[in-house]
Structure 1
């Protein structure tokens, strides 16, 4: 249930932005830098990662996350940090290549759907 709540809550840009702000510190700085590099808000960047996690995480991965956050004082924030840090470590950074400025994943990590959503977010930001 906690993982479902985490996904539903933090798939919203505004909630994801507020949660990132609440966590703060080096984590928020990493998110801010990655979001800036991709031309989207911190909230949008985190929400895309959470939506991608919702699409790609199998039952085992969700169960591992549930065990990770169970008993925490702030399970939603702890779970968000866990998912986003894993995505950042896997390479959740994009670069523009090609004539169409399509975001291209540098080292793997997000699904094609997440890359497309991030690209749409970049376009709608302008």
Structure 2
């Protein structure tokens, strides 16, 4: 199974996503938690929705960039999950920018948020130092 497909398959489940986010370190998990709270969701529910939205919204170019980030890392699935979540938790005002991610029927007159608004064509580099 492709590693991206494995992320989607496993981290689309709330409890698995919550455990995976927790294993990324307390600093990053805390930032995900703050973003999740913006929507009244648990970390696991938020991360699972973000992963499912990533699957539906991105094209091959974004997937290729994600594969490059995951390539030759010790924990490619966790690296990939962090790369998917990083641009979301780094948004200054997640409530306004990510409403479509959580409640697409209530945002922008029902229009989907463009994937480039959340996942840029060239993902940001991910800092894995948790100290």
Query: What CA deviation, in whole Å up to 9, does each residue of 1:56-115 have, x standing for no partner?
Result: 110111011011101111111111111101122245722xxxxxxxxxxx1x356x3x32
Q: Is the 8 A contact 1:20 1:28 kept in 2?
A: yes
Greater than 4 Å deviation, 4+ residue runs: none
Change (3 A) 1:67 1:92: farther
Structure 1: how far apart are the matches of 2:23 and 2:32?
Answer: 13
If the length of structure 2 is used for normalisation, what is the TM-score?
0.71
Q: Is the 8 A contact 1:21 1:28 kept in 2?
A: yes
For the pair 1:13 / 2:30, whether they are aligned, the reply is no
Task: Give the aligned length.
Answer: 104
Q: What runs of 5+ residues in structure 2 fail to find an aligned partner?
A: 107-131
RMSD of aligned alpha carbons: 1.9
Q: What runs of 5+ residues in structure 1 fail to find an aligned partner?
A: 95-105, 120-126
**Greater strand share, 1 or 2?**
1
Q: Aligned with 2:72: secondary structure?
A: coil
In the alignment, what sits opposite 1:27? 28
